[in-house]
Amino acid sequence: MTVLPALEASGVVKTFGGTVALADAHLRVGKGTIHALLGGNGSGKSTLIKCLAGVYRADSGRIVVHGEERAAADQTPAVARRSGLHFVHQDLGLFPQLSIAENIALDRGYPTARVLGGVRWSRLEADTAALLERFEIAASPRTPVAALRPSQRSLVAIARALADAGDDAILMLDEPTATLAEHESQELLAALRKRANRGQTIVLVSHRFPEVQGVADDVTVFRDGRVAATDAMSEMPIDRLVAAMTGGAELPHPERTAVRAGSAERLRITGLHAGALRGVDLTLAAGEIVGLAGLGGSGRSSLLRTVFGRLPIRAGSMELDGAPYSPHSAAQAMALDVALVPEDRLGEAAFLDLSVRENTSITVLKRFWRRLAISPSAERSSAEALVAAFGIRTPGIETPLGSLSGGNQQKAILARWLQRAPKLLLLDEPSQGVDVVARSEISAHVVAAADAGAGVIVASSDLDELFALTHRIVVLRAGRIVADLTTSSTTRDEVAHLSMLDSEEGIPT
């Protein structure tokens, strides 16, 4: 049965200076379907979304929404919204300390009384309650967003985007599961599938192939600003998707070497209380890669931030290479060859307005000092070498980091730290928002660092990443380690189950 299109984009071209971001791109989305939009970082999919949203003005092309055609160059945010296009970005734009009702009102406006102009709180809460019921969100209008589960926050953002939309609205979601644990992702995707079954049209941008396969009806893959493949999802197995993204080039699969017998103990943590941690014991050998699994609030990030000197220690102790270790700042941790790639890339790691050169050299500026000033040629040579070694796709080293795709930003940040040859490498969600190609490249560099002797700790909500990369997986829950498992001797189901248990029963000892 032929499904009528709700959205069609054809011949869309977008250039930035001399760089072609989109070249004759097209997309056709059937009404009442979930259409997955995939592609490597820098492939053009995000650029197309921004052209559809009117954030970028396309150079040429046509857009048709529910039969209404216009030049892509005429698309504006107001036109996009009037035509029925609604967008929810990876950054949900919610205020955690405000209630659900207040977050909804910031977008829709507060209902006010005619006479005195005060906020009609009862009307706001009634309208919000109706909206929550419509989107099957089990929460009160007065509930602070901070108290919601991650998947519920995403649903609130979706409800807000569609609050005043008609039944023919088209919902475009950019990486909605990137920051969610596996069971939270499944809950959100199940809700999306239910909405599509009722006639909602959804475009889903994602890097998580198994999730996409389980929920999408159709898929389009972008590569180098063009459509590399488009088909029903049932006709696009994983190997064909990957081949479309890479152009048929085989992705490298780094082999974890076994931790050498007798390897020196790199890190020892004893009875650690800090942040969300409540008495953590952990050891890590040189050359070993240990994964941290657990749900939000489990203490994964607290552990990494404490080791890097960003959280104060309330109790317990740490040793680095057998010596007492208690950094009170990131600078002290760096002086002892410890590196951290944080979860919040944009907020804590990427200097978006600075160039690729400046972002990569910032951790090793002393290397470029020549008497009384930095040597520009030495700094440029170093940056160019890192761009080549880490496969960072950029027009040049003077390009602002913020203009690169998420995966290339992450590779630049990883390069910034690995050039220091750290003894201890801490990674928090290293592949969040990163495509399969960039993930493979990042993994290869992490494995190479471990093979060179670094101890590596990786916190990730993506169990596939942990199983592909680590020697051991440590499961945290409510600030405690509840399991320390050899990766090759456990299963995804076991790790997921241990992460979600509500009691202390069944915890391996």
Per-position pLDDT tens, the chain of length 509: 567 889 999 999 998 877 788 998 999 999 999 999 988 767 888 889 999 999 999 999 999 999 899 999 999 999 998 898 998 877 788 898 899 999 998 887 878 877 777 777 888 889 999 988 888 888 999 999 988 887 888 889 888 888 877 778 899 988 887 767 777 788 888 888 988 998 889 999 887 777 788 899 999 999 888 999 999 999 988 888 888 887 766 666 666 677 766 689 999 999 999 999 999 999 999 999 999 998 777 899 999 999 999 999 999 999 999 999 999 999 999 999 999 999 888 778 889 899 999 999 999 988 888 878 888 899 999 999 999 999 898 889 999 998 887 788 889 999 999 999 999 999 998 887 676 777 888 888 999 999 999 999 999 988 888 998 999 999 999 899 999 999 999 988 888 888 876 534 334 33
Q: Please state the pTM of the whole predicted model.
A: 0.70
What are the structural domain ranges in the chain?
A: 5-246, 265-500
How is domain 265-500 classified at the architecture level of CATH?
A: 3-Layer(aba) Sandwich (3.40)
Give the torsion through C-alpha atoms of 146, 148, 153, 159, to 10 deg: -120
Residue 293, token pair as written in the block = 């699994």
β-pair type (369-370, 373-374): antiparallel
Give Cα 300 distance to the centre of its chain.
16
Task: Find the distance separating the first CA and the last CA of the chain, reported in whole Å.
Answer: 56
> By the 8 A CB rule, do 12 and 214 touch?
no
CA neighbor of 176 nearest in space, from 206, 147, 200? 206
* CATH number for the domain running over 5-246: 3.40.50.300
- Domain 5-246 and domain 265-500, same fold? Reply is yes
Residue appearing with tokens 């998947």: 151
> Do residues 339 and 420 make contact, with C-beta atoms less than 8 angstroms apart?
yes
